[in-house]
Structure 1
Amino acid sequence: MDNNEKLKAIKRSFRLFMNGVTSQSMREKGLDYKINWGISQPDLRRIASSYDKDMELADMLWAEKIRECRMLATLLCPAEEMTVEKAVEWSASVDSIELAEFLAFNLFQHIEGADRLVKPLLDADNKCLHICAYHLATRLLKQRKPLDAEAYTALLGSAEADFRQADRHVVHAMVNCLEYITGSDSPYAEHTARLLKEFGLDAF
């Protein structure tokens, strides 16, 4: 079966897992995908388990701009073949928190040079990508993968602006990240602790 046939088979399988109630709920919450089958994340993982990881197939799924296709793309993309430059390209069209989190957790944290993604994600005028960046940085630190000075500068520089925006999803991801830095052996731990205290979030 070539990748065109796999793509067709994957899209046909969506009918078996579709959830109209969930899809409608997502639309009401502003998750307005071109097409949204409302398939749960566990079911998407079940679908993904039937296929080998494949960069070409992942690219084809991402190009579909369908919620389920894009989420499967993050699961079927081989991390060793995803470059930082291509990750930035993919992220440019992310417009939901759910997809941003899937990218951070399933793919971006595993690619070579992932720390170099933090700054371009935070440079984007897109709250979803800021959430992705904070989750990504936290995951890397938990794996004891060092962040470079540019990543730390971007994180601490964006934190104040994101805090002022007061979007609860962004603030939650940001505070989790900063609290992890504070409790680490990072040379930026003390600076980060002061920043959280300035925000009144040192006991968040």
Structure 2
Amino acid sequence: METTEQVKQIKRSFRLYMNGVTSTSMRQKGLDYKINWGVSQMDLRHMAEQYGKNKALAVALWQEDIRECKILATLIMPADDFTASEAMEWAATLLTVEMAEMVVFNLFQHMNEAEKLSLMLFENDDKLVRICAYNLVCRLLKRNNECAPQLYATLFEKAAIDLKSADRQLLHPLVNCLDYVSSTDREQAKEAVQLLKAAGFDAF
């Protein structure tokens, strides 16, 4: 089946899983998408299993301004065939915090160039891209328990700036990331603690 037809088939199938209550709740919480069927994460994962890993289909789905299409794209994109540059193109089109979290959890953390991508994300001042950066570093640390010295240095440099922000959406992943670093036995833990205390946050 051609990619275009697969996309049409997938979009039609969302009607089977739609949840109007969930969709309305998301809209009230500020998660605005052109189309949002309110399909659950579990149902989307089941759908992804049916299609397997498919880069062409994932790219086509990501271009749709539909919540479920974008989440499905993050699930079926083969991480080992997705470059940091391609990931930056996706990150540049993010419109919600939910999608910034989903793309990191489902895709970015599994990429071969995940650390390289982290550094590239930190170079961008867009809030959602920066949220991606903090979420990604935190996921990488939890998976590998270490990162390259350059990534730690960049994390602390950007965190020192962003900790002055009053934006809770940005502060949440930032503080979570520093909290995790501070809880490890890495030498960088002390610097994470100092940053949090200087900004008025207590490390857990």
Give the TM-score of the pair, scaled to structure 1.
0.92
Secondary structure of the structure 1 residue equivalent to 2:50: coil
Distance 1:31 1:203 in 2: 30
Alignment of 1:170-181 (within 5 A): 170-181=170-181
Give the match for residue 11 of structure 1. Answer: 11
Name the stretch that deviates more: 128-137 or 100-109: 128-137
Alignment of 1:2-151 (within 5 A): 2-144=2-144, 146-151=146-151
Secondary structure of the structure 1 residue equivalent to 2:144: coil
Report the CA distance between 1:195 and its aligned residue: 1.0
Distance 1:70 1:19 in 2: 17
Distance 1:189 1:203 in 2: 10
> Which one-letter code corresponds to 2:53 in the other structure?
K
Report the CA distance between 1:24 and its aligned residue: 2.4
> Which one-letter code corresponds to 1:130 in the other structure?
R
List runs of 5+ in structure 2 lacking aligned partners: none
Distance 1:18 1:9 in 2: 15
Distance 1:2 1:146 in 2: 42
> Which one-letter code corresponds to 2:113 in the other structure?
G
Distance 1:184 1:21 in 2: 41
Distance 1:133 1:175 in 2: 12
Give the match for residue 188 of structure 2. Answer: 188
Distance 1:102 1:33 in 2: 15
Name the stretch that deviates more: 91-100 or 114-123: 114-123
Distance 1:33 1:143 in 2: 31
Distance 2:63 2:169 in 1: 26
Contact 2:182 2:203 in 1 (8 A): no
Contact 1:61 1:72 in 2 (8 A): yes
Contact 2:164 2:199 in 1 (8 A): no
Report the CA distance between 1:31 and its aligned residue: 1.9
> Which one-letter code corresponds to 2:13 in the other structure?
S
Contact 1:118 1:154 in 2 (8 A): no
> Which one-letter code corresponds to 1:93 in the other structure?
T
Report the CA distance between 1:3 and its aligned residue: 2.2
Report the CA distance between 1:145 and its aligned residue: 5.8
Distance 1:15 1:167 in 2: 35
Distance 2:186 2:59 in 1: 36
Give the TM-score of the pair, scaled to structure 2.
0.92
Secondary structure of the structure 2 residue equivalent to 1:42: helix
Distance 1:85 1:149 in 2: 22
Q: What count of residue pairs does the alignment treat as equivalent? A: 204
Q: Percent identity?
A: 50
List runs of 5+ in structure 1 lacking aligned partners: none
> Which one-letter code corresponds to 1:14 in the other structure?
F
Distance 1:44 1:87 in 2: 21
Distance 1:158 1:90 in 2: 21
Report the CA distance between 1:165 and its aligned residue: 1.7
Name the stretch that deviates more: 122-131 or 9-18: 122-131
